[in-house]
Amino acid sequence: MQHRSGAVLSQSHGRRAASECNAPASKKTASRTKKCCYCCFMGNVARKQGNSCEQSLQMGYQCGLVFRACCVEGQEDADPSVVDGPNRDLALPVEVDHEDPYRHDRCRGGGPCTQQCRDTGSSVLCSCFMGYQLQPDGFTCEDINECITADHNCGIGQICINTLGSFRCQRETSCGTGYELTEQNLCKDIDECETGTHNCLPDFICQNTPGSFRCRPKQQCKSGFIQDALGNCIDINECQSENPPCSTGQTCINTDGSFACQRTVPNCGRGYHLNEEGTRCVDVDEWS
């Protein structure tokens, strides 16, 4: 606060000294006034030459205050558009009035048209984007329904659906459960495992299939077993398969997870015995 107050008093003292230099001669004192007026004169010269109003240390404190007060006061009273001195070209920027070339364009900001506007000079012409039609008022545009005007290229089995400024063709029949219609009008399988729309339990793994999905148990069964819907491992009875695993003359015996082939021993009646291969009964020649 003390430094600021000192600066204010110094400026006030400088201005008072400058006013004394501009006062009538009767009010001036001899040597003090002469030096004061010389400092003020240098301030006026600095202002007219376009130099800085900051005082030099070589002037001394009192002379510097008067120099600055006269220089600044002269700038406040002078016409800001007139500057003398070597820096007059840099003092004020020259303002050039650049007129907006579109100032008188009636289509500026869209004009009265809702879509496209063109100012011909004598009138304003409105036009519409592709897929739209200019209305009788000459300004507004309305969507063209290509499905009604038959300006579409939908084929057999497709229906035309109008959109803003265009149209699209959609399959007339649905794709069915497990499929979805693509933008290319094709049926695509829905991967329920990826979309998370399956109902597999935590102990099962979802496996996508065309149009559906299946839940595969995380626990894998050993060879000879098959898993049921609940994930339990059930033995496969290989002996009941369409192609019996045992050859002719052997009996298939199912085991846990596998099977066994046992040689079949026919029971020959009286007067018969097994052949050497043990596969059939042959007559006993009692006379030999």
pLDDT at 209: 94
**Residues spanned by the domain of 265:** 233-288
Of 94-103, 164-173, 203-212, 222-231, the least confident? 94-103
> For the chain, how many structural domains are there in total?
3
pTM of the model: 0.31
Residue 101 located in a structural domain:
no
Region of 149 (left: φ > 0; alpha: ψ -120 to 50; beta: rest) is: alpha
- For position 103, what pLDDT does the model report? 67
Does residue 256 lie within any of the structural domains?
A: yes
Q: Is residue 28 part of a domain?
A: yes
Which band of pLDDT confidence, cut at 50, 70 and 90, is reported for residue 128? very high
C-beta contacts of 51-58 below 8 A and 24+ residues apart: 51/85, 51/87
Q: What is the pLDDT of residue 7?
A: 39
Domain-located, residue 175:
no
Q: Average the pLDDT over 43-59 and give the result.
A: 74
**CATH number of the domain to which 128 belongs:** 2.10.25.10
The reply to whether 140 falls in a domain is: yes
The yes-or-no verdict on residue 169 having pLDDT over 70 is yes
Asked if 76 and 21 sit in the same domain, the reply is yes
Q: Which of 41-50, 115-124, 184-193 bottoms out in mean pLDDT, i.e. has the lowest? A: 41-50
Mean pLDDT for 33-58 is 74
186 within some domain: no
- Whether 136 is in a domain gets the answer yes
What are the backbone dihedrals phi and psi of residue 249, each rounded to the nearest 5 degrees, phi first?
A: 90, 5
pLDDT tens for each residue of 10-19: 445 445 555 5
Packed helices 2-21 and 31-48: angle between N→C axes, nearest 10 degrees: 100
Task: Answer with the residue of higher pLDDT: 203 or 59.
Answer: 203
Domain membership of residue 280 (yes or no) is yes
Q: How confident is the model at residue 99 (pLDDT cuts 50, 70, 90)?
A: low
Percent of the chain with pLDDT over 70: 74
